[in-house]
Every structure is written in structure tokens, then in C-alpha cells.
Amino acid sequence: MFPFFMGVHCFLHQTNLDVLMFSKLNLVARLGASFQAMYAFFFHSPKKYLELQKLCEVLMEKRNKLLQNVKTRWISMLYPMQQVMGQYWPLITKMYVDVPNKNIAIKNLSLLYDLEWIMGLHVILPLLDFVHALIKLA
């Protein structure tokens, strides 16, 4: 009916679709799952969250609430990733303190010490930050 009609996503939607495809990579999916696990660790316990905030004060780190990776938001992993990076040492300290009592703390602590996880975080965060800036610019 329309021989010259070609469907094209707008720049913003196409960029978000590209990031969603990127998130299916093993390392990126692993990062996303780890942010979700850390969020859940603190979300279900206001006491743990308060202890993390106190650790942030003692270690003079920025106090931000850990955010959930919500897939319906564009570049959804950016903000949880920034929160984990901003509170890296308080998170390690809190997980280390909770290790004797919780298997989840052991799993989270092992992620925070994993070299591949740390390197992936340092590579992917600037990339997502750049893509987010492009989307805001458009």
C-alpha cells in the first residue's frame, strides 16, 4: 500500500532498545542481578539501611538510598550502579559485619570483591552515563 514507507524508531527509543540488548550480556546481566540483590538486602530491613547510613557518615561517603533497577525506565541500571559505586566501602563494611548471620551478605560481599564485577562496573558506568547524557540532549 505504501511502497516507500519505512518504519523507524526515534533516536531515544532506538538508544534505549540498544541498551536493553546490551543488558542481556552475561556480565551486564550479572551486574543488574547483583544490584537487585543489594537493594533487596536493605529494602526488607530498615535497621540494616539505618546501619548503612551511619557507616556512610562515619566513612564520610555520600548517603543515598540504594535504588531498584526498574526495567520500565530508560537506562534503568545507571542510577542503581551510581549508588553502589558511591557507597562501595560502606557496603563492603556492612556486608562484612553481617556475614556471620546472613548467606545473602556473603553472596553480596563476594560480588563486591569480585575483580570481574568491579572492572565491569568501572567500564559500564561511564558508558551508561554517556548514553544517558545523549538521551537528555536529544
> What's residue 5's pLDDT?
64
**66-84 per-position pLDDT tens digit:** 766 666 565 677 888 888 8
Phi, psi for residue 14 in degrees, rounded to 5: -65, -40
Over 80: is that where the pLDDT of 4 sits? no
Percent above pLDDT 90 for the chain = 0
Sequence spans of domains, the chain? 25-67+75-137
Q: How far is it between the farthest Cα atoms of the chain?
A: 68
The pLDDT confidence band at residue 43, using thresholds 50, 70 and 90, is confident
d(CA 84, CA 101): 22
Stretch 35-56: mean pLDDT: 82
d(CA 132, CA 9): 17
Stretch 97-106: mean pLDDT: 78
Over 80: is that where the pLDDT of 113 sits? yes
Alpha helical stretches, state H, 23-102: 26-43, 46-58, 78-86, 88-98
Among the listed residues 104, 44, 103, 56, the one whose alpha carbon sits nearest the alpha carbon of residue 84 = 56
> What's residue 92's pLDDT?
86
* Upper half-sphere CA count for residue 84 (Cβ side, 13 Å): 31
Q: Is 71 helix (H, G, I), strand (E, B) or coil?
A: coil
- What's the pTM value of the predicted model, to 2 decimals? 0.70
Residue bearing cell 568501572: 122
**8-31 per-position pLDDT tens digit:** 667 666 666 776 777 777 877 888
Stretch 100-110: mean pLDDT: 80
Percent above pLDDT 70 for the chain = 75
